[in-house]
Structure 1
Amino acid sequence: MRWLASVVLLLAMPAWAAVTRTALPGPDRFTLEATLPVSRAALLPMLEQPCQVRQWMPHLRDIRILHRLGPDQTLVYMAREGSWPVSNRDAITLFRRQAGEPLVLTMEGQPDVLPARPGYVRMPYIKGSWTLYDQGRRTRVVYRQRLDPGGSLPQWLADSVAGNHIEETLKALEHYVRDPHPDACAVDRPADGGTGQPLW
């Protein structure tokens, strides 16, 4: 029976691949692949509902839905606590869901939608995606990211630490999928109540 226990343990562990970095003009592209022990249907709310993202994303200070542009498009504000060499940053990102197999969640920065928030540097460029492959009780995830953190931080320095930050984020998600708390969530409505009034 010892072999059976080993197989069960192996199936429960995430299959991680190293972060790969592709040099491009401007921000480099980072890619990380993982197989998470959760169905795709269960994983999607963990990525799309702010009340769940708050429970697993490291260094998150604020996340709000600004506007739902349609059933598959959502404008989101997010603020994160900085860690050396990056100070506090925030971003406004348009998320789009592209149904099919695989299912793809794309993200694209929209930095000029709202004015700057005091105490944060607005990230001027974000582009990335979550690609989710349905494997029954597991989901194969391919995460891609390119970003310019803005401010006075050189791009080469931001790229040099981005890989570690991506690994930390994906490992936090993997930990959360094993013990999620979706019942703690309320309905996430647009933060401004649909009035379009400034948030700060």
Structure 2
Amino acid sequence: MNPTGNTLRLACYGMLLWLVCFAASGHSAQSQAHWQSWYHSSLFSINYQKPPDHPLRIRVTGKWLGVSAKSVINLLHDTTRVSQWVKHVSAVTILSRPAPNQTLVLTHFDLPWPLRKRDMVTHACLLQKSPNSYVLAIRSVPEYPAEPGMTRIQPVIVQWVLTEQDNAVEIDYQISADIQGDAPQWFVDKVALRNTRMSFNALHALLQAPIHNAEAWAITPANTCPFE
């Protein structure tokens, strides 16, 4: 196995957790297919599905004490702190805010040679399901034209379900994404699981600071979404 090649592929998939903030079919949070266990700790568990001829689906569940749904949403939308938990994000541009609970964002990734630069356009929508439950639904936007020299990451489907209870937030996160390119899928899947674990540990650590909970909502919860 080529150590240099593996490092480059790992860097490529290291960006996947960034997709949770601004992200795209056939994925459903209510999928009845069997989830296989991969990792468990006191903070969260990671499970996965491997559909034939489709990218890996990853699911993370956990309960974080002293954390609110608002603090999670605000951190996910804090473009100034992305580098603290995801490498190789070179630029993040908010293209528009179609509604108070929605954002359309262009993200660039500058990956190490010889991998090509990648970009993605994503549409995020925050729903309030009950007084204590929120859903952040995220989809890639395939009709947005790709920039020259860029490889477009798509399709992407991401969903966060955040439920507040007993001074804690229960998290149910799912992602399915195709980063494109010719890296062996078995290796990409393996690195995706490892990087999910590292990124969620980093997210939990960042959420211990009170700043995100004290701020107003980065996007305002609502009861409608154009793609739900």
Question: CA 1:113/1:58 → structure 2, altered by over 3 Å: closer, same or farther?
Answer: same
Contact 2:146 2:152 in 1 (8 A): no
1:93 maps to a residue whose letter is T
CA distance in 2, matches of 1:117, 1:54: 25
Q: Kindly indicate whether the alpha-carbon contact (under 8 Å) linking 2:123 and 2:140 is maintained by their aligned counterparts in 1.
A: yes
Asked which structure has the greater RCO (Cα within 8 Å, sep 6+), the reply is 2
Sort the Cα spacing of 1:64 and 1:181 in 2 relative to 1 into closer, same or farther, 3 A. Answer: farther
Alpha-carbon shift at residue 62 of structure 1 (Å):
2.3
Q: Letter of the aligned partner of 1:31 in structure 2?
A: R
User: Could you say which residue in structure 2 is the equivalent of 1:95?
Assistant: 124
Q: Percent identity?
A: 22
Measured against aligned partners, the alpha-carbon deviations of 1:163-185 in whole angstroms (never above 9, x if no partner) come to: 11211221111111112555xx9
Q: Distance in 2 between matches of 1:117 and 1:175?
A: 37
Going from structure 1 to structure 2, the CA distance change for 1:21 and 1:96 (only over 3 Å counts) comes to same
**What stretches of structure 1 of length at least 5 have no aligned partner?**
1-12, 189-200
CA distance in 2, matches of 1:65, 1:180: 25
5+ residue gaps, structure 2 = 1-40, 219-228
Alpha-carbon distance in structure 2 between the residues aligned to 1:143 and 1:135: 17
Aligned to 1:35: 63
Say what the alpha-carbon RMSD is for the aligned residues. 3.0
TM-score (norm 2): 0.63
The separation in 2 between residues aligned to 1:39 and 1:67, in whole angstroms, is 26
Q: Which residue of 2 aligns with 1:110?
A: 141
Tell me the equivalent position of 1:24.
51
Which one-letter code corresponds to 2:43 in the other structure? A
- Residues 133-158 of structure 1 deviation map (CA, whole Å, 9 limit, x = unaligned): 11243211111110111122343432
State whether structure 2 residue 54 is matched by structure 1 residue 54: no
Give the Cα separation in 2 of the matches to 1:146 and 1:161: 14
Q: Aligned in 2, Cα 1:90/1:45: closer, same or farther, shift over 3 Å?
A: same
Name the TM-score, length of structure 1 as normaliser: 0.71
Q: How many equivalent pairs are there? A: 170
> Residue 75 of structure 1 corresponds to which residue in structure 2?
104
